[in-house]
Chain A
Amino acid sequence: MNPFVRQEEGLSEADLAAVVAIFNEVCIMEGDGAAKKRSLMNHLCRLIDADSWAWSLVHLHLSQPTGQVVYLYDGMSDEEFAWYLRAVSAPDMNLLLDPYVQEIQRQGRQITRCDSQFITEELWKASVIFTSLWEKANLGHLILTSYSLGESGNSGIGIYRRHGRPAFTQREVRIAHIILTEVPWLHTEGWPEDYGEQVPRLAAHLTVVLNLLMQGMRRGVIAEHLQLSAHTVDGYVKEVYRYFNVHSQLELITRFREGDGGDLSR
């Protein structure tokens, strides 16, 4: 049934050399943890010929909306990113992800799966998400990994190919899995201290707005990408601010990047 369950996790000499070359770059580069993470992910995407990735804090529940805050991403334009957020927050996504979430719960450890491992192509291509959102986000085949952070949720990384490109091969999934599994700082570093409190239980449309605000987007741009009126976006932004008890976008971003942003402890 599942062709990848018993994957041998060895590498060829050429692949080992390519993996070592990635770590050589990450090792000698200047920069903080986030910069190293971005570099490692971009190099990994180059090695397995992927086009974009996103790293998020997620709450995965069977048949429930996914609470998700994207901390870092690359390879998508602002507009594609907005469509991506709408796709992952869409109610249909839960149904598509259920087999993946079930396997995470059953295995109780980190797993990495490509799309064909938890969803049939017919089901996927027939879904509203695929036809209405995924294509607009210019996304196609994907690899997902999920690392448990305990009560706080999961560190989730998605790696994507553009729309219409071929599926990931077994070798590419294997390389992604090994790196995403054996480099724990990809998942454990870079969170604010109180991130466990922060996985928002927001409605899907507010989660999308939250994530766009987090990337520093202006309200006008958000309205444009979501094809909403400025007035509607203003209302959503107000709701998000109220939920987190902040009064500006800067305060919101600080809150997520550095924990309470200093506004609670003083």
Chain B
Amino acid sequence: MERYQADKHPPPLTGEEVLTTGPETRALVRLLGRVSVTPGGPDQRRCFLFDGLSTLFHFTGWLWGISHQGRSAREYPFELLLHRSLCDETRQTDLPSSFLQYTPSGDQKAPGLFIHQREHLHAFYLTTPAGQQQTSVIGFCLSRQRDPLEEREVRIVSTVLRGLPWLHAPLAERPPDRRMAPRLESIRKLLLNGLQRKEIAASLGLSIGTVNGYIKEIYQHYKVTSRTELFRLCSLHEKQQPSVR
């Protein structure tokens, strides 16, 4: 845990001190207005919102997932639900693997803000309780070329994310019968995002053999034999995430 700088809820600013600049305010209100009428389900809205925030604050990627408290590391406490890389010059697969690997530990019960700055990864995460034994984790990843995050920017983004409880409410909308183990769900998401097996393995810090085993389980679950079939099946049953602009 020492690499996470825990910075629990910062106390709200007092008085009339202005937090946002004029252009930021306008862009944020425009974004929130559009999210409110985005067709589709909550996942479409989440993508739209996270993409918009990333554009506004020059983030290079984002993720959203659920951390299951009380599960051991072997039970895969962190379930990745949505993510996207927004670097122009890099591909989807280049989301820094440690960003994907981020798993708040099981005893991480308190909601809060975690800023993580290391040589190869600048990111921050907001954790919010999302039901029994579940914590929603939203993370944004920053380019290393970018200036470090200002406290002001972190406050703006976390004010927006905390003000939208629907963002963090995860699993009720998903039919329980189609749910697989969290780790399989994470891998299914990566498969559908077009990552190669070895890339999935690198992202999650697993061996190729382990990943192959997981993929076999996923194919069995959906009764398919190839990724193409999985794609077709999943796009029939779920509204696909909107594509990257």
Contact = CB atoms under 8 A, between A and B. Distances in A.
Contacts, number: 89
B25 A27 contact: no
Contacts of A13: 12-13, 17, 19, 155, 159
A14 to B, nearest CB: 7
Interface stretch (B137-145, B160-168, B183-191): B160-168
A9 B21 CA distance: 7
B33 A23 contact: yes
Interface string A208-239: 00000000000000000000000000000000
A53 to B, nearest CB: 17
Contacts of B225: none
B25 A10 contact: yes
Contacts of A21: 163
A182 B22 contact: no
Contacts of A8: 18, 22
Nearest to A16: B159
Contacts of A116: none
A202 to B, nearest CB: 33
B45 interface: yes
B26 A23 contact: no
Interface string B12-33: 1101111111101110111011
Interface size range of chain B in the complex: 20 to 34
Interface in A1-55: 8-14, 16-17, 19-21, 23-24, 26-28, 33, 36, 40
A24 B164 contact: yes
B13 A19 contact: no
Nearest to B10: A13
A12 B15 contact: yes
B17 A12 contact: yes
A171 B165 CA distance: 26
Nearest to B169: A28
Interface string A183-223: 11110000000000000000000000000000000000000
B13 A23 contact: no
Interface of A: 8-14, 16-17, 19-21, 23-24, 26-28, 33, 36, 40, 171, 178-179, 181-186
